[in-house]
Structure 1
């Protein structure tokens, strides 16, 4: 439970951030802009005060490095906050984290194919763009390049991986100007979407994703419905948002990502709870029943982004977020 609460705090930061542009003076549906920024600032201050040592290992049931995915997603939010409110303390905190790990991946394992362990690269690349020191990009680029040196495209066999790694490929494509990163990212995405588990992990009829092949039909929730986990679908929505933002205008893959994004949003509106949250299992309220915070934060993040970009109609989606 303690870990789940921490995850919820991590996702609150980017979710609040994406709501900010929608909160103009005439908006009555959302909190005032200044109040949202103040809440973001307090949320982030809580985290930085709790974890002043950026290298302190995370010890729960296991001992893990401080640049695993659970910490890396926090830094994604921190960098977005820094873009909005460029306080030196935010930048310095992120740089100290990267420097502690020598800009390498989990436990110094550069040539990992595990998306969870590559997630830290999103922040390394953001920091490279601010100050292009070669060391900030070296290891994450080497990791991705080692994957691209092979023909293997089936690494992302669980849907969380899309958010952990797709933005890394996209960012490298932008930085280097090499379309090969976009192409490999898309090939791996399509394999996960259409082929993993024989029929793929995405169900276009429902607009939702199975967590991995173990949850593909004939597996069902206790109520007999297909099993779609909230958090995993939230990761996919976030991945699509981040990648669409990074892709060059007119990129041939853009329409595929936008189409799936819209399908997901339409599906998610239908299964929102009356209290505004989503359930752990999107089609079975009784399976680990009760409101689920991580998926909810990610869904609100994704939909608010679409409203702000004019991709989703505000009249329909603003009441949802």
Structure 2
């Protein structure tokens, strides 16, 4: 069976699978005022649309980095598959799981031509998941070879984003010198350390994360500048420029790091502190309709679902894992999830996703991208778990 055929089969089953949701899904969530089964159905619908379009990306304008979208080992598809495997695990959906494994097999668990770039590292999260899911350590061979080469010769280049060759990426992208990289790379290194028991990977991730954090995190606003070019730049109203999706990448990335970070790790308290600081700031910036602005300190102009998806995911993850109080953050999660759901077209296409970029930009209703779908599925995975957690606590209270 070809990868394309499998995806088509997964799509058909995913659309119908909502009726087979686990028993707890019918319970009401104390945070989101819709049945958790509805959250599942929305996730399956969006996943189905995207899987059905993995062999043709004509819906992405050529001028909007279509080649990046088509690249099966780059960050655009990696972000989608991270969301998909998280949702597949949450719903125990074998068809979605098989679609991801088939993708990995087609790519031979490998990487693109860039030996040390966070955007290229990102797909490693999918390969680590697949190796653990199938209990097949051989799937990790390309990842370990890639990361071992970095450990053998770590980069010490400046994190300044400006210097670059005549052609190619800025020199600093040999390290994690932009906020997006917090989602792309350190969660992979942390997960690989957990999967293999090799502490060197975590030590590298921890050291490089804090170098990036100390360089780009604004201590007053508790948000990340996208990269060094934005530290002194100001927007139309004189405000600092904090990109919505850029901070969504970072916030979701920290949640993913914490997911696999040992409970007794020396840096854990510091990660949790940054996560809580960001959460407290993020909820104050949500728009009336539930979306977050493309530029967080500027007025809301249009919906935007990729940053919103990552924020809803992170906030719900924090509540589910006891780091954020439900009473304080529940309303923002509720409003954010309803906004995301409202952006889904009848056929399952997710709209209002800001196109590939490096800063706040315009967004249209028909703009969609794989990373936006990945963010939506991450959010759905945690929002449904809020309902699951509520059902469990209610059952214990009745005993």
- TM bin (shorter chain): 0.7 to 0.9
1:129 Cα deviation after fit: 0.3
- In the TM superposition, 1:60-75 aligns within 5 A as 60-61=62-63, 62=65, 63-64=67-68, 65-75=71-81
**In the aligned structure 2, how far is the partner of 1:146 from the partner of 1:266?**
39
Q: Which structure: larger Rg?
A: 2
Q: Is 1:44 aligned to residue 50 of structure 2?
A: no
Question: Which has the higher relative contact order, 1 or 2, with Cα contacts under 8 A spaced 6 or more apart?
Answer: 2
1:171 aligns with 2:191: yes
Cα contact 1:54–1:96 (8 A) shared by 2:
no
Report the equivalent of 1:86: 92
1:256 to 265, 270, 274: 270
Which structure 1 residue ranges, 5 or more long, are not aligned? Answer: 1-20, 195-199
1:279 to 293, 298, 303: 293
Aligned residue in 1 for 2:384: none
Equivalent position of 1:25 in the other structure: 28
Contact 2:29 2:35 in 1 (8 A): no
Query: Structure 1 length as normaliser, TM-score?
Result: 0.84
Aligned Cα root-mean-square deviation (Å): 2.3
Gapped regions of structure 2 (runs ≥ 5)? 1-23, 160-174, 334-399
- Contact kept in structure 2, 1:235 and 1:298, CA below 8 Å: yes
Matched, 1:240 2:254: yes
CA distance in structure 1 between the aligned counterparts of 2:197 and 2:96, rounded to whole angstroms: 28
On the 8 A contact 1:69/1:116 being kept in 2, the answer is yes
Deviation at 1:24, TM superposition (A): 4.8
> Aligned residues, how many?
288
* Paired residues of 1:122 and 1:167 also in contact (CA < 8 A): yes
Q: 1:294 to 1:312 in 2, by over 3 A?
A: same
Given the alignment of the two structures, is residue 129 of structure 1 paired with residue 132 of structure 2, yes or no?
yes
Aligned-pair CA distance for 1:292? 2.0
- Give how far 1:54 is off: 9.7
Q: How does 1:1-321 map to 2 (within 5 A)?
A: 24-25=27-28, 27=30, 29-51=32-54, 53=55, 60-61=62-63, 62=65, 63-64=67-68, 65-106=71-112, 109=113, 112-152=115-155, 154=159, 155-194=175-214, 200-217=215-232, 219-285=233-299, 289-321=301-333
Deviations 1:213-235 (A, max 9, x none): 00012x11111111100001000
Residue deviations 1:46-81 (CA, integer Å, cap 9, x gap): 111222x4999x883353422211111111111112
Distance apart, 1:22 and its partner CA: 11
Whether the 8 Å CA contact 1:170–1:182 is kept in 2: the answer is yes
Structure 2 length-normalised TM: 0.68
CA distance in 1, matches of 2:324, 2:52: 37
Q: Distance in 1 between matches of 2:315 and 2:191?
A: 22
Evaluate the alpha carbon distance shift between residue 93 and residue 40 of structure 1 in structure 2; reply closer, same or farther with a 3 A threshold.
Answer: same
Pick closer, same or farther for the CA change 1:85–1:147 going to 2, 3 Å: same
